[in-house]
A and B are shown apart, each in its own frame.
Chain A
Amino acid sequence: MKPVTHVSGRAYPWGAKNIDTDVIIPAHWLKTVTREGLGKGAFETVRAESGNIFDDPRYAGAPVLIAGDNFGCGSSREHAAWALADMGISAVIAPSFSDIFSGNAFKNGIVTVVLPQDAIDRLIEVAKTDAVSIDLETMTVTTPFQDRFPFALDPFRRQCLMEGLDEIGLTLARDTAISGYEAGLAESRPWMAGERFHASA
């Protein structure tokens, strides 16, 4: 993964609440077998409306999306994160995210920044005319107008993002611990070992 230390540029000043993954990428786009190319389908139903924010030339190619509460609710489809990445979004700022979405975003190098609603309101105002800037080093969102909003980020996620670490590689390095756990399991709860499925069932 590419390391991410900061994201700056224009932001879609959206603010919509409860944006579900069916809105981010409708189900018919889920038949792909690769991670690429989903930007075309991102926000398809929103884009069908004239004057929508995603086709507004002021925000073309903006790397940041500002949304409302509960962004990314709904399904576990990682296609939502792939679609955002493919349309060039590297960070989403919202008052809250669905747990599954923020995990998926993180695994694709997209920063999810949680800020209180009043900060969101202010950023939406700024984003209509100016750029915003997210810095992982200082964990702040800033604007050209001296606004400064600190945010929290899970330390492990922050490190992975900033160093571009491969989480599977990191876990595979813990093999001794995993094998040790499995050995204990065979003793304490032997029935947990998998019964193979028999096609005759």
Chain B
Amino acid sequence: MANSQTLYEKIWNAHIVEKRDDGTCLLYIDRHLVHEVTSPQAFAGLRANGRTVRRPDLTLAVPDHNLPTTPRVDAQGHRLPITDPESAQQLDMLTRNTAEFGIDYIDATAPAQGIVHVIGPEQGFTLPGTTLVCGDSHTSAHGAIGALAFGIGTSEVEHVLATQTLLLSPSKTMEIRIEGTLGAGVTAKDVILHVIGKIGAAGGTGYVIEYTGSTIRDLSVEGRLTIANMSIEGGARAGLIAPDETTFAYLKDRPMAPKGAAWDAAVAYWRTLPSDPGAVYDRTVLIDATEIAPSLTWGTSPEDVVPITGTVPDPMSFADPSKQVAARKSLDYMGLTPGTPMAQVPVQHVFIGSCTNSRIEDLRAAAAIADGHHVAAGVRALVVPGSGLVKRQAEAEGLDRIFVEAGFEWREPGCSMCLAMNPDKVPPGERCASTSNRNFVGRQGPGARTHLVSPAMAAAAAINGRLSDVREFDTGVIS
């Protein structure tokens, strides 16, 4: 059909302020999330040029990257100081900048504080059909709600603060259609790892991905957020999932979502957003959900994916000579020998958290594995809820007790061990099963070795002290 449009095209077209002859568009930005690390230079730029924030009401700020995940107030409720002076300075600047420019700010000690990509959907700040940006590449996560959401650099943060727009060229569109029912122990995390393994870390460069198919429709919003989050690991700046009844049910009554008649009008509009039948994508990738195993990474690129039943690959098994070189370097860094079964690799650290996997469903999945077991000797295992709301919900369900009794640490919300910017780090040469999204060299600390896994697989690794197939637990077999 000539007039058929994809979800991406509909959102893009609805936000064009001006279109240039070369196809570049000045695009209106509906929602802007701000955190402490990528904003100080942007506010400094505004100040240096005597500029203001155009729409503080469309902007929301929260600290997450630098915050230690240890308690933030003492027994009397007094705020505890942040010992790292550079982190303290960045956090202090966010407080002062948001006050000076009139931006809503969720303080480090507020109950709603959390990772920027967890609190956006949770507060109903993220809405279908909106354009949403943040100075952080995992902004792609919000695409799970049906928002066109992508990470921007600090100069663009400044541009959005000053003008509420961005100058952008349209992307190509890629449909990743996943059909079928997921097998036992296979989660959204395994799906997205499998997808990245298939398309490669640069496979989505220049594209916006739309995830379609029955597997995606059957996922909860939490699972969809995990998938859209890691679109950037596949090279795509944004990932989209069409809003549906699951999305609406998730958003209803969230603090910042529309209410009453405005809600009804919004839902009516959101129903018009899904891609039209016959809409054309520049590329389509088909994936059979029944082929996806519980998966994990072996190397230092998120495309280095194997099933947990697999072995460490031989670098010579890759056709591309440059990949052979990269794989050899990766294995050297990771301290792994080709042919070793993945499920025999010991771990010293387990991290359950990050904007990929720190929502309530993730914690429930990990707790279900941990329940009645104990973390293996010599393993340090952290559980870091994505937000204060997730933390309190988990505590109301008793998940914190399950974790603590099993020997996990139960922490305050933040980015934590996802990136080495706060005190939660993996020491050099040690190995971590992590539910985060990046296994880059040094990501969790200099010399740290990261294996990306689902929350259930992370919990299983903590208990066995080695990378583990979560399905062992389903059958009650624990070594």
Taking Cβ atoms with an 8 Å cutoff, the residues of A that contact B are 17-18, 20, 22-23, 26-28, 30-35, 45, 68-70, 73-78, 81, 96-100, 103-104, 107-108, 154-156, 167-168, 171-172, 174, 177-178, 180-182, 185, 189-199, 201
Contact = CB atoms under 8 A, between A and B. Distances in A.
Interface stretch (B129-137, B240-248, B402-410): B129-137
A181 B18 CA distance: 9
A33 B104 contact: no
A178 B167 contact: no
Contacts of B171: 99
B377 interface: no
B30 interface: yes
Q: Which secondary structure dominates where chain B touches chain A?
A: loop
A167 B265 contact: no
Nearest to B134: A76
Contact of A178 (B28, B31, B135): B28
B446 interface: yes
A34 B54 CA distance: 23
Contacts of B139: 76
B41 A34 contact: yes
Given A156-B167, A193-B57, A96 B205 contact: yes
A28 B86 CA distance: 10
B368 interface: no
Contacts of A191: 127, 258, 262-263, 265-266
B450 to A, nearest CB: 11
B20 A194 contact: no
Given A103-B156, A168-B159, A98 B28 contact: no
Given A191-B258, A191-B263, A103 B153 contact: yes
Contact of A168 (B65, B130, B162): B162
A74 B17 contact: no
Contact of B441 (A17, A45, A68, A171): A45
16 contacts: A20-B440, A22-B442, A27-B443, A34-B41, A98-B235, A172-B163, A177-B18, A178-B17, A178-B26, A191-B262, A195-B255, A197-B255, A197-B256, A199-B107, A199-B112, A201-B255
Nearest to B159: A168
B60 A33 contact: no
Contacts of A189: 129, 266, 269
Interface in B38-70: 38, 40-41, 44-45, 49, 51, 54-55, 57-60, 65-66
Nearest to B257: A195
B165 interface: yes
Contacts, number: 207
A45 B195 CA distance: 29
A77 B443 CA distance: 14
Contact of A156 (B20, B89, B107, B323): B20
Contacts of A107: 153, 155-156
B157 to A, nearest CB: 8
B412 to A, nearest CB: 18
The 4 tightest CB contacts between A and B, nearest first, are A194-B57, A76-B151, A31-B86, A78-B153
Contacts of B420: 26-28
B202 interface: yes
A75 B421 contact: no
A28 B84 CA distance: 12
A168 B322 contact: no
Nearest to A69: B202
A71 B111 CA distance: 39
Given A69-B202, A177-B18, A196 B57 contact: yes
B154 A154 contact: no
Given A181-B17, A198-B255, A18 B202 contact: yes
Given A27-B443, A99-B205, A178 B151 contact: no
A45 B41 contact: no
B282 to A, nearest CB: 15
Contacts of B123: 197, 201
Contacts of B265: 190-191
Contact of B90 (A23, A31, A104): A31
Nearest to A101: B153
Given A98-B235, A171-B26, A194-B55, 4 more contacts: A17-B322, A178-B165, A191-B262, A197-B106
B206 A168 contact: no
Contacts of B235: 70, 73, 98
B241 to A, nearest CB: 20
B169 interface: yes
A76 to B, nearest CB: 4
Nearest to B329: A16
Contacts of B323: 17
A30 B136 CA distance: 12
B224 interface: no
B158 A76 contact: no
Given A74-B440, A190-B262, A197-B255, A26 B446 contact: yes
Contacts of B135: 76, 78
A148 B198 CA distance: 36
B256 to A, nearest CB: 4
Given A30-B37, A76-B137, A103-B153, A197 B22 contact: no
Contacts of B263: 191
A193 B55 CA distance: 10
B457 interface: no
Nearest to A97: B205
